[in-house]
């Protein structure tokens, strides 16, 4: 059992990182809007692409100043896992997204909620900045969100709390960071799985690879959202996604039995 002081310190550090993620892009926007009022929309667009990366870099710098090793705190140890496991993590993310997308389409959810979800999802991809949109979704978001949420926030929480407390707390924050209700639900669920991956593998890079696979699958879904699926097709794709995700999780990511 950790001491109260250790738990409070862990809680403070984790919440501080979350606040840094939230506040830094907003403060930059406010400063830029005051100094360059004619470029507010462009500033908002670019902070949408690079805001999380800037926050992560700021947190990495601040943590280093206070003697917090990036490799140790954020578990940046790619050598702890094999290339095969990283490929398996990529496949797991792809299969997980396939299953989640099929489930969301099959569930009898309110039309207003689905419409809100579709509108926000489409907002991720901007044809006017196609390359930046794709790079942001497929590379920047997985790398820097994992550094912040599974690296620092979960890492700091883990210093003061048992695994499941740290995992649930950091995953809830990750879910709330996504704003829209359906995004909150499945982002929190995936965040919990990414915490398990970090805990069992000892490395953040597997989480990043899995997150990349998840986001990569969203790219063609956004580009070809007008294509209709039959009920049977959705059911089959969801079932195959779940089946392959479980196989990859058990046989490729974690071939040996390791318990949390």
Report the range out of 186-190, 222-226, 249-253 with the highest average pLDDT.
186-190
Task: Work out the percent of the chain whose per-residue pLDDT is above 90.
Answer: 61
Scored b (16 or more CB within 10 A) or e, 46-83 reads bbbbbbbbbbbeebbeebeeeebebeebbbbeeeebee
In degrees rounded to 5, what are phi and psi of residue 182? -65, -40
> Structural domain boundaries of the chain?
4-253
Q: State pTM to two decimals.
A: 0.92
Give just the sign of the alpha carbon dihedral 101, 106, 109, 111.
positive
The answer to whether 168 touches 176, Cβ cutoff 8 Å, is no
Who wins on pLDDT, 144 or 78?
Answer: 144
Mean pLDDT of the chain: 89
| Token pair belonging to 77 | 């140890």
- pLDDT category, 224, cuts 50, 70, 90? low
- According to the 3-state scheme, what is the secondary structure of 132-157? HHHHHHHHHHHHHHHHHHHHHHHHHH
Give the mean pLDDT of 79-83: 88
């Amino acid at each position: 059992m950790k001491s109260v002081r250790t738990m409070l310190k862990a809680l403070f550090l984790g919440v501080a990182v979350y606040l840094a993620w939230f506040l830094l892009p907003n403060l930059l926007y406010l400063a830029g809007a005051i100094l360059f009022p004619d470029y507010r929309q462009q500033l908002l667009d670019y902070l949408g692409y690079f805001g999380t990366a800037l926050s992560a870099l700021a947190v990495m710098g601040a943590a280093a100043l206070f003697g917090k090793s990036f490799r140790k705190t954020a578990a940046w140890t790619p050598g702890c896992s094999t290339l095969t496991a990283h490929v398996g993590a990529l496949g797991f993310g792809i299969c997980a997204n396939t299953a989640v997308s099929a489930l969301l389409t099959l569930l009898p959810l309110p039309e207003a909620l689905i419409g809100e979800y579709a509108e926000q999802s489409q907002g991720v991809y901007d044809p006017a900045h196609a390359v930046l949109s794709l790079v942001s979704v497929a590379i920047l978001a997985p790398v820097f969100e994992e550094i912040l949420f599974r690296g620092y926030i979960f890492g700091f929480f883990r210093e003061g709390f048992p695994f499941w407390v740290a995992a649930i707390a950091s995953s809830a924050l990750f879910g709330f960071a996504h704003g829209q209700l359906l995004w909150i639900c499945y982002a929190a669920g995936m965040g919990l799985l990414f915490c398990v991956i970090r805990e069992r593998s000892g490395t953040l890079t597997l989480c990043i690879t899995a997150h990349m696979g998840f986001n990569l699958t969203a790219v063609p879904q956004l580009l070809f959202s007008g294509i209709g699926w039959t009920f049977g097709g959705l059911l089959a794709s969801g079932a195959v996604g779940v089946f392959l995700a479980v196989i990859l999780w058990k046989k490729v990511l974690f071939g040996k039995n390791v318990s949390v």
